[in-house]
Amino acid sequence: MPGQQIELNPVDFITVGTIGPKGQRIFHLQGGQGRQLVSLIIEKEQAWALSEAIRELLDDLDKRYPAPGVPVESGGIDMDLREPIEPVFRVAQMGLGYDEDQDMIILVAQEAVVVDEETDPSLIEPGVVRMWCNRDQMRLLSNHALEVVKSGRADPKQNGRLIYYWT
C-alpha cells in the first residue's frame, strides 16, 4: 500500500511547537501553503537535531553561495502552531537538501511505520512530506526549534532521566 505524499512548494510558514505540560510535551513540526496545513509528530531529540542540521547547512550555504540581503530576524513573525493540529503521521527520519537554481532548502520527513510479523515490509511504503523553504524561513525554524527544546523542565537533568540521590 503506497504511503501519502505531500509537497508544499514553497511553504508560507514552517515551525516547531509543543502541546502539553512540561515533561509530557508532544513535539510537532508544522508547515503550511495557502489553505493546506501539515502537522507531523516529532521527538524532542529530532527537533534539536533538526535545529543543529539546519544551522550547519546554512553556515555552509552562506559560505559557498552568499545570499543577497540581510537575514530576517524573528521579531514579529508568528512561530506558534496553527489550528487545527491534526498530525498526518509520526516522523521516523528527516533529511535536508538544497536546490541551487531556486536557492531553496527542502526538508523531507518520512513516516515511522510499524510492521507486524504477518506483513511483508517490502509492501509498506511510508508517507513522505516535502517542505520547500527559503533560507530565512529555515534560519527562523532552527532558532525557534532550539528555543522550544530548551523551554522544557527547569532542570535539564530531569528531562526523561531517572536521578538517584544518596545521603
Q: List per-residue pLDDT tens for the chain, 167 residues long.
A: 468 999 999 999 999 999 998 889 999 999 999 999 999 999 999 999 999 999 999 999 999 988 766 555 656 688 999 999 999 999 999 999 999 999 999 999 999 988 777 777 777 889 999 999 999 999 999 999 999 999 876 655 555 554 444 54
Q: What are phi and psi of 157, to 5 degrees?
A: -65, -20
Is 72 a domain residue? yes
Sheet with 87-99, strands from edge to edge, namely 5-8, 128-133, 104-111, 87-99, 36-42, 26-33, 13-19
Q: Where are the beta strands (DSSP E) in the chain?
A: 5-8, 13-19, 26-33, 36-42, 87-99, 104-111, 128-133
Distance CA 93, CA 18 (A): 19
Is 167 a domain residue? no
The neighbour count for residue 120, using CB atoms within 10 Å, is 7
Is 111 a domain residue? yes
Instruction: Quote the pLDDT of residue 73.
Output: 60
* Partners of residue 8 on adjacent β-strands: 131
Instruction: Quote the pLDDT of residue 1.
Output: 45
Instruction: Quote the pLDDT of residue 118.
Output: 79
Is 139 a domain residue? yes
Contacts of 59 (CB under 8 A, 6+ apart): none
Instruction: Quote the pLDDT of residue 151.
Output: 87
Residue range of the domain that includes 59? 5-119+131-154
Is 69 a domain residue? yes
Is 105 a domain residue? yes
Distance CA 130, CA 95 (A): 10
Is 126 a domain residue? no
Is 32 a domain residue? yes
